[in-house]
Chain A
């Protein structure tokens, strides 16, 4: 589903060059639930942004669902992003002056669905996250957990192949975080590939696969290492 080979990303200013990713290789198969961990500044978010076609990479190759992303123009990247990817952010990123229905409607508008199809998808997506009865509410009228559910509904409405989640529970208390995580697991169980950046080892442990990013390079962790890391975190 996602394949990156020798990917590099360099941020340049007139004074310095910063290598955010270097020789980055990763393959994520369809249906996997991958947790991405690593210390701050290691390159996790850069990786997610490149995977989400929100940033261009400097070198290497990247295939998304078999399509080479290299050299695509803004229109093609936007189309690909709209059709194949769904995003969930730490800060929810709902549009405050649109109600839930209209928030979920945003990616569907860019997809070009007709009104009836959009309505069907919005109702289904909001129903899936348990917010059917709140369609006319505005984001500010919801709790953080509910807002994140709306963000998940918005990400799911377009039936994406891959869900990219950047610290999806970072702004939630533990109970709400658990609820969101259960929802992500349910979505994954129905076939959607999930790539989740997290600092939380407990959440990372619930993913099928863990990758660790350090200084812009990636390490695939074994089950044993994951458990050891989790234990070390718990002891600390």
Chain B
């Protein structure tokens, strides 16, 4: 009977096409709006590196002095150069890396390609295995290059295609500002969603940087941070050396532990480090540090903003309004079919069968609404992605979202169909048969 009812539901779409079109449109618009918002929310609140997110941690220190301190104030989200250097030296995690943003000029040496500006990242070689960054050609620079502040670079796939087309450029050089850097590797396409590794001074929806060079090299060349700098107390000091020695925070720090349970030991290490620094007159605030897991870090940084949450709630509120309208339209449609219901009841349909038939009919409306809603959602996500995210395909609907759309649309239609279907079951056949 399910097939039969599905067929009847399908045929019923052609009956009163204006009403049917309105029902489907109302549902599709409601689903399209809510799925667009839900996609944004889920993409932003997703786990960007699920295979190891439990083992990735961000340490945070309270660098500022006691001026303006309030209990519960969060520690700084970035490190000073002093702490970065100390923690990198100690190597107490399985892997550790530090990074700060760069805005660099690349000179291709070609007449057809004038010098251009490119975003980069100063970091350590540990970052590539730490974040499972895929390589198209070559590999990371060596730890030795980190120590020697060598002129080596890993470039992104877009920059590689721009400069070398599809060639393997490993071993070749590119001129960054005024020095040649040897390419040790080319990254493959890599778009963590959200872009978690540097959330301040860089948008969570932006494309990964195209130039990655050693942290030590960037410092030796006195590159300044392209991003968020926070200075308190004595300020930045004088010159680059003063900057490095200052209590300004501008470096993002990450640690990868062997297993999540190693966090306690790492906390002990941080605690001991803070105690040592306190003896040196630094970090005067109580509760001077935090160790955040990746998930905590994303929440702490507010990747899923209040606007996104609010717009999702509003979109679902709009879906509810659509459903109320759908209920009214279905009531009108099913009430007009009271005669048919009377005939079917007379011919042997129980109330249960009528309930099934009309609920499946509501489900068919949901299915067609889902297809149209899916199109609207896809379009909505595409528009949002192109307007709000740097990466065009940052917000995208995957198979899971397709499934959610389908299920949500059919469930919404079934929910909206409950009252009209129940009313249909209450039709008294004797009255309908006589009145026809």
Contact = CB atoms under 8 A, between A and B. Distances in A.
Interface of A: 45, 49, 52, 54-55, 74-75, 77-79, 81-83, 87, 89, 91, 93-95, 97, 106-107, 109-111, 154, 158, 166
B349 interface: yes
B162 interface: no
Closest 9 CB pairs of A and B: A82-B348, A78-B350, A110-B348, A107-B347, A49-B430, A91-B436, A54-B430, A93-B343, A75-B350
Interface of B: 1, 4, 11-12, 14-15, 339-340, 342-353, 428-430, 433-434, 436
Contact of A97 (B11, B349, B428, B433): B11
B348 A78 contact: yes
A138 to B, nearest CB: 12
User: Interface on chain A toward B: helix, strand, loop, or mixed SS?
Assistant: helix
Contacts of A54: 345-346, 428-430, 433
A109 B352 CA distance: 14
A195 B98 CA distance: 93
A158 B348 CA distance: 11
A175 B14 CA distance: 36
5 contacts: A49-B430, A54-B433, A74-B350, A91-B433, A110-B353
Contacts of A49: 430
A97 B15 contact: yes
A168 to B, nearest CB: 13
A75 B350 CA distance: 5
Contacts of A107: 347-348
A95 B343 contact: yes
Nearest to A107: B347
A106 B344 contact: yes
Nearest to A111: B348
B17 to A, nearest CB: 12
Nearest to B351: A74
B318 to A, nearest CB: 33
B364 to A, nearest CB: 15
B348 A89 contact: no
B339 A93 contact: yes
B348 A75 contact: no
A78 B345 contact: yes
Contacts of A97: 11-12, 14-15
A109 B428 CA distance: 21
A10 to B, nearest CB: 15
B433 A89 contact: yes
Contacts of B15: 97
Nearest to A54: B430
Contact of A45 (B342, B428, B434): B434
A76 B105 CA distance: 84
Contacts of B352: 74-75
A107 B430 CA distance: 17
Nearest to B352: A75
A154 B346 contact: no
B66 to A, nearest CB: 78
Contacts of B4: 109
Contacts of B353: 78, 110
A30 B346 CA distance: 21
Contacts of A81: 346-348
Given A93-B346, A111-B348, 6 more contacts: A78-B345, A78-B348, A79-B348, A81-B347, A81-B348, A97-B12
Contacts of A45: 430, 434
Nearest to B435: A91
A74 B433 CA distance: 18
Most buried by A among B4, B350, B428: B350
A97 B20 CA distance: 15
A79 B347 CA distance: 9
A87 B350 contact: no
Contacts of B14: 97
B80 to A, nearest CB: 77
Contacts of A109: 1, 4
B346 A52 contact: yes
B382 to A, nearest CB: 39
A55 B430 contact: yes
Most buried by A among B340, B343, B347, B428: B347
Nearest to B347: A107
A207 B273 CA distance: 108
Nearest to B353: A110
A209 B344 CA distance: 30
Contacts of B348: 78-79, 81-83, 107, 110-111, 158
A97 B337 CA distance: 11
B436 A93 contact: yes
A151 to B, nearest CB: 10
Contacts of A55: 428, 430
B436 A78 contact: no
B430 A89 contact: no
A73 B339 CA distance: 22
Contacts of A82: 347-348
